[in-house]
Amino acid sequence: MNRDFINQKILVTGSSSGIGAAIAKSFAKYNTKLILHYNRNYEGVIDTRKEVIQRGSQAKILQCDFRNEEEAPQFFSDAVTFFCGIDILINNAGVIPKKEINDTDLKLWKDTFSINLNFPFLLSKLFVSDRLEKGKVGAILNISSIHGDISCEKFSAYSASKAALNALMQVQAVEWSKHNIRVNTISPGVIEVERNKHKLREQKKLWMPKIPLGRYGTTHEIGELAVFLCSGSASWITGQTFTIDGGTTARGNYPIRE
């Protein structure tokens, strides 16, 4: 057992399914205390909580719609109350609207930035203030995307919000390093989750030539990387974006040359 995490209090936003649920389950192996956030998928977060408990950790559930930025202070206060503090903040919750720029109205743009950028910004500030007040160190981990660095049709709001999150992380890491608070980012490529599993399997012939390792990523792999980056083994790592994409961005978008 990794003793770094015993009794550590960890807030994972967007943990009702997909990457967030996998991250929570990866931490659950280490006798942790998890706060599981969800917005709409109550059944999903109940399933995550059940598995977290089965793996030997404690779990509490907290609902919030991250489009409502003014709720951030109360949300964070409620999360802290569950276990009298938070040691690790995982900013995972996000939305992926797919619309061309001309079809992206201001409400969709603002909602995307509220969830993907503004709420993580606010939670991170609240987290650091709480850590400083208690005189304790901490770690923040953001879940971004390779689309924060590479372009794709219909991803204008999503890509812009993730690019901003990546840039914000670097400034946070520099400014908060003097308080021994580390900030890093995981930037996943094509990950097979429940909502896209059927479609990705249908499009396998389209995707595989683009992924040098020849398969989709798994949420479990993201979860295990998250655990490492928040552990004592990564104590000298801050301000970094870790791309996990099977080599997709390393290869680029050139045609295959026989």
Domain boundary assignment for the chain: 3-240
- Let me know: does 12 contact 36? Beta carbons within 8 Å: yes
Task: Tell me if residue 30 is catalytic.
Answer: no
Helix (H), strand (E), coil (C) string for 183-236: EEEEEECCEECCCCHHHHHHCHHHHHHHCCCCCCEEHHHHHHHHHHHCCHHHCC
**Following CA atoms 219, 221, 224, 225 in sequence, which dihedral angle do they give, to the nearest 10 degrees?**
-110
Phi, psi (rounded to 5 degrees) for 134: -90, -5
Residue-wise pLDDT for 194-228, tens only, equals 888 889 999 999 899 999 999 999 999 999 999 99
Residue-wise pLDDT for 111-165, tens only, equals 999 999 999 999 999 999 999 999 999 999 999 999 999 988 999 999 999 999 9
According to CATH, what is the number of the domain 3-240?
3.40.50.720
Instruction: DSSP letter for 99, please.
Output: B
Whole-structure pTM value: 0.96
For residue 27, how many C-alpha atoms fall within 13 Å in the half-sphere facing its CB? Answer: 33
Residue-wise pLDDT for 19-57, tens only, equals 999 999 999 999 999 999 999 999 999 999 999 999 999
Of the candidates 42, 158, 216, 254, the residue annotated as catalytic is 158
For residue 106, how many C-alpha atoms fall within 13 Å in the half-sphere facing its CB? Answer: 0
Cβ burial, residue 106 (10 Å; 0-12/13-18/19+): exposed
Please name the amino acid found at residue 208. Answer: M
DSSP reduced 3-state for 59: strand
Closest CA to 13 of 158, 114, 98, 109: 114
